[in-house]
Amino acid sequence: MDDVDRRLLDVLREDARASVRDLADRVGISRANAYARIARLREDGVLRRFTVDVDPRALGLGLPAYVHVRIKQNSWKSFRDRVVALEEAEHVALVAGDFDCVLLVRARDADHLRELVLGRIQALPEVVATQTVLIFAEHGRGAGGG
């Protein structure tokens, strides 16, 4: 990875649909060089996929929250499989600390969030306890507002 690769990645983060010609022009290299670098970045696993960034608020999911979850010992895989099936769960991570997992969820409103946490997440057989943290503002790549 050199500075040219990093600039290519920056352009792709802004617009993953940019053409190779546009990438080359914006980074200041030839199209052949841009094509070869993108192919290498994909082969090396740096570029894992090209994706679409959907604004959750446009889908009516304007209330984000982190749900910290304590789970039964040795139940991570089954818990993870159940949680990723929830349409409101955007991200799930196994973490160290007071809780075992952190979920980023997005709900329509407080009633929907309550039903999601109390009715569906806490009802999972692996769950021992939860703590919900509302997100007031987000910032970063793919964050929904600020």
Q: What angle, rounded to 10 degrees, do the helices at 31-43 and 3-14 form?
A: 90
Tokens of 25: 């022009």
State whether 123 and 67 are in the same domain: yes
The pLDDT tens digits of the residues spanning 43-73 come to 999 999 888 788 899 999 999 999 999 999 9
* Domain that includes residue 103, residue range: 56-134
Least confident of 59-73, 82-96, 127-141: 127-141
What does the buried/exposed string (b/e) look like for 80-107 if buried means 16 or more CB atoms within 10 Å of the residue's CB?
bebbeeeebbbebeeeeeebbbbbbbbb
Task: Tell whether 68 is covered by a domain.
Answer: yes
* Mean pLDDT within 115-131: 98
Q: Is the pLDDT reported for residue 146 higher than 80?
A: no
Helices 3-14/20-27 angle, 10° precision: 130
Q: Are residues 34 and 67 in the same domain?
A: no
Question: Is 35's pLDDT higher than 80?
Answer: yes
Mean pLDDT of 28-47: 95
Nearest to 95 by CA among 134, 133, 67, 128: 67
Nearest to 83 by CA among 131, 107, 117: 117
The CATH number of the domain holding residue 35 is: 1.10.10
CATH number at residue 110: 3.30.70.920
> Do 27 and 36 form a contact (C-beta atoms < 8 A)?
no
Q: Is 77 helix (H, G, I), strand (E, B) or coil?
A: helix
Shared domain check, 106 and 67: yes
pLDDT at 5: 95
Position 142 confidence tier, pLDDT thresholds 50, 70, 90: low
